[in-house]
Structure 1
Amino acid sequence: MKQIELSKWGIENLKLADVERPEPGPGQVLVRMEAVTLNFRDLLVVQGLYNPKMPLPLIPVSDGAGTIVATGPETMKFDEGTRVMPIHVSGWTAGRGEPNGAPRGGPNPGVLAEYAVFDERDLVVAPEHLSAVEAAALPCAGVTAWNGIFGGRGVTPGARVLILGTGGVGLFALQFAKLAGAEVAITSKDDEKLIKAKEMGADHLVNYLDNPDWGVTARDIFGGDGADLVIELGGGRTMSQSLRAVRRGGEVAMIGSVTGAEVERLNLPPIFMRNVTMRGVAVGSRELFEEMIKAIAHHRIAPVMNKTYRGLASFSDSLEALSKGEHFGKIGLLFD
């Protein structure tokens, strides 16, 4: 079988390798992978910026979907022919996280292989109405957004939600927040992306490039009180504005760091004096994943796909497209 391997940091060091097909052991299943989707984390891993101490060689990418083609001894959960998705962190079935769990695509092997073996406890059945590449968008971006919207205090009808950006997590968060009946504001530097977000149901649009003090603008949008919940996907350069946008007693779900990991000019007193809750969100458990799947299946929600590449050999091209940041929604790769 073929798989993508990274032996040295850098997109230029990705190679398509021929390896022996694995066999499932006790409690494991063999999955013929059909599609993957990319997250910003995947780009950072390949570039050596996520954790340069991770062991190499590495099979990249955490999110995929495929069909079970063989089962090992003592498997009880799935039948052959079932389309499944692996959870992001191995062994994280419920709760706040398993102590020995690690993400796929670094340091655990990723899903950029024609066949992969998984512990059956690490798999979730894909919604029937989704294609393979659409299902592949759910394990990281979908679960992260679901956790951000519902994993804290939980969004209820009439809640005011501010979402930073129109990437995969941001658009999932928009879909889930509107599903809950929230009033949603969303930011972008691209007016065309904002128009698309409005077509998806966003109530308020904020171009942060045209409006550097967008945190105050967002607070004013919500009647001067601010947002009940901020889905903070920016990181270092956006956190101070997010804290301006959140209401007294509100919540900031800290998810991403696409603008950097170090926060600029963070003023601590407004956080504790205004009783702001800051909650870290790092994907979620299988239990949370399955909860999200029920809602997606019931309401027939589909992820927003930007572009789908074909064939393992085009992975470098898809990663380059991700690095440009011009996409609206998910970038996928469909296997041959």
Structure 2
Amino acid sequence: MQSVAYVIDKPGRLSKPITRAAAGRRAGEVLLRIHATSVNYKDYLGVVTGELPDLTWPRVPFADASAEVVEVGDGVANVSIGDRVIPSFFPKWQAGDPTADGLSLIHGDQVDGMLQTHVCVSSACLVPTPAHLSDVEAATLGCAGVTAWRACSKASVKPGHTVVIQGTGGVSLFALGFAKMAGATVVLTSSSDAKLERGRALGADHTINYGRIPEWSTAVSDITDGRGADAIIDVGGGHTLAQSVRSARIGGHIACVGFVSGRESAEFPNVVVMAKNITMVGSTVGSIDDTADMCRAIDVHKFRPSVDRVFPFGEAQEAVDHLLTQGHFGKVSITM
């Protein structure tokens, strides 16, 4: 079996794909035909900058995929040839809290990823694709979707809660959808009025333009009559965390799921965290069980991810470049 793959030898721009033999499957593994993938900020950090730890080269990048099972190895009982599946981001993290071993393996980092037409993976990491989703939509679930799902789950989002969600990228719009599924009131932030209008069309109850209101925690206070938000999904990190803390109610929850605005916070109001008894939780994607739970909820609610733009396989670098413009609304996908 031949696979067409992007194989990179060191950090930098993606070269053209090459044709090579697909890796042979072993017991417990399946051969997947990849139909689509999507770009995550993690892929930029690994592929372009090499900033992520434990990367080995050469490597086929990208963690996300929508795929079809085309061959089944010995001992595989959970999937069959022809099944539509998505591989979990952490193929060794089955359930529960994360462990060092569970976080030790990521497709596209320590082993070859999904920017290729065929790949062998452990069948244990595969989750059925929600039937109503296209391949392009399903390819957005593994990283951004699960990140948002686990963030909302850890915050115990429920009816009556107010949830603040930052931005309109992939994780943020998934979090918007999942918070609305749970019956919460959503406050969405962005520096673009056009994006905020689109967010309202997806169900956001309140919107804040942080370009006009840099101290946007004051707007959250006004929206909540001074109480503060029950949960904040913080994707910004360095330059947003202080405002997230000030936005939270007493006993509120902050899910730290990204650092697109910076890795370190220049002004961290630790006294406010103490005074409000805020719970802050770092969250890195999720387990195989988290992925399965999310897919079941998506299937029940017939939720559809927001896809900003779709690139052909030969324009993978252009897809990465488009993500870095930060002009996208939702996910950036690639078809094989």
TM interval, short-chain normalised: over 0.9
Unaligned runs of 5+ in 1: none
Residue type at the aligned position of 1:94:
A
Closer/same/farther in 2, CA of residues 79 and 52 from structure 1, 3 Å limit? closer
CA contact (8 A) 2:88 2:126 kept: yes
Residue type at the aligned position of 1:116:
V
Runs ≥4 residues deviating over 3 A:
none
User: How many percent of aligned residue pairs carry the same amino acid?
Assistant: 36
Q: How does 1:146-295 map to 2 (within 5 A)?
A: 146-150=149-153, 152-295=154-297
Residue type at the aligned position of 2:194:
E
Unaligned runs of 5+ in 2: none
- Which residue of 2 is the match for residue 68 of structure 1? 69
Residue type at the aligned position of 2:27:
P
Matched, 1:133 2:113: no
Which shows bigger deviation, 82-91 or 99-108?
99-108
Output the CA distance in 1 between the equivalents of 2:329 and 2:96.
Answer: 32
The structural deviation recorded for 1:267 is 2.1
Could you state the TM-score of these two structures normalised by the residue count of structure 1? 0.96
Residue type at the aligned position of 1:135:
A
Matched, 1:299 2:318: no
Output the CA distance in 2 between the equivalents of 1:234 and 1:30.
Answer: 37
- Which residue of 2 is the match for residue 5 of structure 1? 7
The structural deviation recorded for 1:107 is 2.7
The structural deviation recorded for 1:3 is 0.2
- Which residue of 2 is the match for residue 104 of structure 1? 107
1:279-311 Cα distance to aligned partner (Å, 9 max, x none): 111111111111111111011101001111112
Output the CA distance in 1 between the equivalents of 2:99 and 2:248.
Answer: 31
Residue type at the aligned position of 1:148:
A
CA contact (8 A) 2:155 2:255 kept: no
Q: How does 1:77-92 map to 2 (within 5 A)?
A: 77-92=78-93
CA contact (8 A) 1:91 1:98 kept: no
Output the CA distance in 2 between the equivalents of 1:267 and 1:228.
Answer: 18
CA contact (8 A) 2:26 2:74 kept: yes
The structural deviation recorded for 1:98 is 4.3
Output the CA distance in 2 between the equivalents of 1:93 and 1:7.
Answer: 30
CA contact (8 A) 2:54 2:110 kept: no
Matched, 1:21 2:30: no
Output the CA distance in 1 between the equivalents of 2:99 and 2:282.
Answer: 16
Output the CA distance in 1 between the equivalents of 2:254 and 2:221.
Answer: 13
Could you state the TM-score of these two structures normalised by the residue count of structure 2? 0.96
CA contact (8 A) 1:155 1:182 kept: yes
CA contact (8 A) 1:65 1:84 kept: yes
Residue type at the aligned position of 1:200:
L
Output the CA distance in 2 between the equivalents of 1:229 and 1:51.
Answer: 28
The structural deviation recorded for 1:108 is 2.7
RMSD: 1.2
SS of the residue corresponding to residue 310 of structure 2 reads: strand
